[in-house]
Chain A
Amino acid sequence: MEFKLSKSQNEIQKAAWDFARGEFDKNLALDLDKNSQFPEAIRKKACDLGFIGIHFDEKYSGGGLGVIENALLAETFCRKDSGIGIALMLSGYASECLLRFGKNELGKIFLPKIAEGEMISAGAFHESDKGFDLSAIETHAVKEKDEWVITGSKAYVINGRNAGFYIVLCRTDPAGSSDADLDLSITEGISMVLVESDRDGIFFETMGEKLGSRMIETARLTFDQVRVPKTNIVGKEGNGLAQIRAFFNESRLLTAAMSLGIAQGAFDRAIGYVKQREQFGKKIAGFEVTRHKLADMAIKIELARLITYQAAWQCDHKKADEKLSCMAKLYASQAAVEVSDEAMQLLGGYGYMAEYEVERFYRDAKIIELFEDQKNTQKNLVADALTGKSGKIGK
């Protein structure tokens, strides 16, 4: 058993760090966060350097590498800047559905556009402002000749109107029956359909300011009889719920890795501060309680790193484990909240001010913790696995 990154993984990490240090300007980040603007110029450069889509196959213009390499990028970028890091790492959000489930031409068309910087993507999964249960969705896609006709509305769509395409979770009916025949209580018959954002009948509405991750727009989408070709089905018809579950399994690792980076970045800033700040005639790094706080923070970061890397490694070795992936997200995101919270406390009044960055790391940590699904939902999945209600699921 060997606990270390490979030489090439170390090189990727170093390249990511050099890129982030060169491009993620602190004042730019403060402005982007304040004005809710996406770091578009940096994204383009990240694409040019091959950072975006590093986990896509080479035939899709990707780096041909794994979930773990993508996680290393997420950690490194978010360590330098939580907001820009999240925006870059989620710029291809849900495109993994094409990578993992697309047995057709969709991946060849769209994945290179993500990796080469031509567009960003989004997942349109959740519906009401208030619900969590994806098996209860009501957006439906009806087959008409060679097309799907999609009607319904989606909420919490990150990347909002900026996305080039959406992976839309829809209720489909294999028999092609009319609306009236759809039984909304059944969980079968849910599919993923790719919808290009320039199709007729899509309406956008921003969901307004968020508590964190403000560089990314979150929108409500309405589909009014939106027509896409039948071939826009992603993966297998009727397999949407299994696919979304497998996708979340992978995306949770990305969330865990971003959280890890946020925790590390907040910690870096706290260490820097306590080593130079003097009160009562000595550096505050010299106070016993400060030192113990630092120790506790470092322990959380190390544990978050271990479980995140392990879960990502398993994902790359065809041993994807939903339980471990949920554990990694739960633990790492909680660690990020706790570490950035303590970092703010160490910075005192400065910690509360935007200029000192830690407050943004803290807000970004919290929103990442709430991202995709509820903490209780993830605990339920862990408990299901522990009590035998569900087993491992394939990649």
Chain B
Amino acid sequence: MEILNYTKDHEAFRGRLQTFLNQEVVPHINRFEKEHLVSKDIWKKMGKNGFLCTNISKEYGGMGADFLYSVIVAEEIAKINFTGLAAPLHSDIIVPYINSFGSREQKKKYLPGCVSGEIITAVAMTEPDAGSDIASITTTAVEDGSDIIINGSKTFISNAVNCDLVILVAKDPAIENKHQALSLYLIDADTPGFSKGKPFEKMGWRSQDTGELFFNNCRIPKENRLGDAGMGFFMLMEKLQQERLVVTLGAVFGAEYMINWTMEYCKKTSGSRSGKPLIKSQAVQFAIVEMKTEASLGKVFTEKLVADHMEGKNVVIETSMAKYWTTDMAKRTALRCLDIAGNFGTLEECPLARAWRDVRVTSIFAGTNEIMKGIAAKFMGM
């Protein structure tokens, strides 16, 4: 019995996506990695072919599809070992804020572009001094007549260079309670007073334009507030379950990719003078079995959480556990696969090198794994 039931339509979608990624994305990966940017026309092509924001209703240009389509996108992107195209971040983490909390006008204005890839989104929470402790941000949003004036800066923002629309978390300095002071705002990238930094040099996710965003007396109309004033923290908390689930999916599928690659490599690679392939080494076999066991455990847990999430259940404890465990598991898997690949693993030509550099951040972003354990402990009543 399968936990997740994919239909023929799901599989047809998967087939189209596989073909698309291999034809339109894979040939450009090395260039994107060098340029620290995925070109915008890839986003538009993704949108045109119906691979972005599949869950958005038809009214706004989407497919009105279930979450399994998002699972398929996460899996197929993991299979090409490429993190730069942050479609799951856009489709399943950021745009849902607009879809869930936006007014009808906001949805009409932004959602069709998000679906078509004309609008690339970013979510701006983290600040230089407020990472794990998100409630202590200092970026301010102050009402001024019918406008709101934003001041402050954000860092480690994915899609920082490419973004056309930013969902910003800012505080009202007049409100003392840190949690009640936060609201969300929609900022168009061409708003005066808003500017973007250069992408950071980082260990991995090199095609990802992670960077800083600056707000200097950035004036937006009040209508650009997303949801109710003072509800920012609660809206963030509500959406974090799906965010963690998306990260978990990436970790599990990434681990499977690395294990499969390593198995194939060991089948065709001689480990000794006798010509015996590495795969015949008992130590290699046991390592692969152990890694596959962990990945399978992670996958079953994750699929169960996907099913629960689709039923609308609150699985905040379990998704926190899954996010921490699967991302650590994927990192362990990367390190062990590199050990098996040995010399070849040291070269960037070996796909494991990039996979390892990329997977490492998943234990840090979307809430560090320490934060995940803290959340689970709290909700478990400790």
Contacts and interface: CB of A to CB of B under 8 A. Distances in A.
A376 B281 contact: yes
B349 A208 contact: yes
B273 A135 contact: yes
A392 to B, nearest CB: 24
A209 B34 CA distance: 12
Interface stretch (B161-169, B298-306, B361-369): B361-369
Contacts of A210: 346-348, 353
A171 interface: no
Interface stretch (A75-83, A124-132, A254-262): A124-132
A354 B201 contact: yes
Contacts of A136: 270, 272-273
A248 interface: no
A363 B357 contact: yes
Given A132-B342, A210-B348, A289 B370 contact: yes
B203 interface: yes
A362 B339 contact: no
A279 B368 contact: no
Given A132-B343, A354-B201, A359-B203, A376 B370 contact: no
A371 B156 CA distance: 33
Nearest to A131: B270
B61 interface: no
Contacts of B202: 352-354, 359
Contact of B132 (A187, A213, A279, A352): A279
A345 B339 contact: no
A375 interface: yes
A185 B364 CA distance: 50
Contact of A211 (B133, B346, B361, B365): B346
Interface string A279-312: 1110000000100000000000000000000000
Interface in A348-380: 348-349, 351-355, 359, 362-363, 366-367, 369-371, 373-376, 379
A344 B269 CA distance: 33
Interface in A235-286: 278-281
A282 B45 CA distance: 47
B343 A126 contact: yes
Contact of B364 (A135, A207, A349, A363): A349
Given A133-B273, A351-B364, A367 B201 contact: no
B269 A130 contact: yes
A345 B363 contact: yes
Interface in B274-304: 281, 283-284
A212 interface: yes
A128 B272 CA distance: 12
A345 B369 CA distance: 9
B363 A211 contact: no
Contacts of B353: 210-211
A318 to B, nearest CB: 31
A34 interface: yes
Assign chain A's interface to a size class: 35 or more
Contacts of A351: 364
Nearest to A282: B133
A278 B342 CA distance: 40
A345 B201 contact: no
Contacts of A97: none
Contacts of A369: 339
Nearest to A366: B338
Given A348-B132, A349-B131, A207 B370 contact: no
A165 to B, nearest CB: 22
Contacts of B269: 130-131
Interface in B193-236: 200-204
A86 interface: no
Contacts of B283: 376, 379
B40 interface: no
A345 B356 contact: no
A278 B133 CA distance: 9
Interface string B17-29: 0000000000000
A337 interface: yes
A382 to B, nearest CB: 13
Contacts of B130: 279
A23 to B, nearest CB: 22
A56 interface: no
B345 interface: yes
A155 B349 CA distance: 14
A331 interface: no
Contact of B365 (A133, A279, A349, A366): A349
A93 interface: no
Given A34-B201, A370-B343, A349 B156 contact: yes
Contact of A132 (B156, B201, B271, B356): B271
A376 B284 contact: yes
Given A136-B272, A354-B200, A354-B202, A374 B342 contact: yes
Interface of A: 30, 34, 126, 128-133, 135-136, 155-156, 185, 187, 207-213, 218, 278-281, 289, 337, 341, 344-345, 348-349, 351-355, 359, 362-363, 366-367, 369-371, 373-376, 379
9 contacts: A132-B342, A208-B347, A211-B345, A211-B346, A348-B132, A349-B126, A353-B200, A355-B200, A374-B342
Interface of B: 126, 129-133, 136, 155-156, 200-204, 269-273, 281, 283-284, 331, 335, 338-340, 342-349, 353, 356-357, 360-361, 363-365, 368-370
9 nearest A-B pairs in the assembled complex, by CB-CB distance: A136-B273, A359-B203, A354-B201, A211-B353, A279-B133, A209-B348, A374-B342, A130-B269, A349-B156
Given A133-B271, A359-B202, A374-B339, 14 more contacts: A126-B343, A128-B270, A130-B269, A131-B270, A207-B349, A279-B131, A349-B156, A352-B204, A353-B202, A353-B203, A359-B203, A370-B339, A373-B342, A374-B340
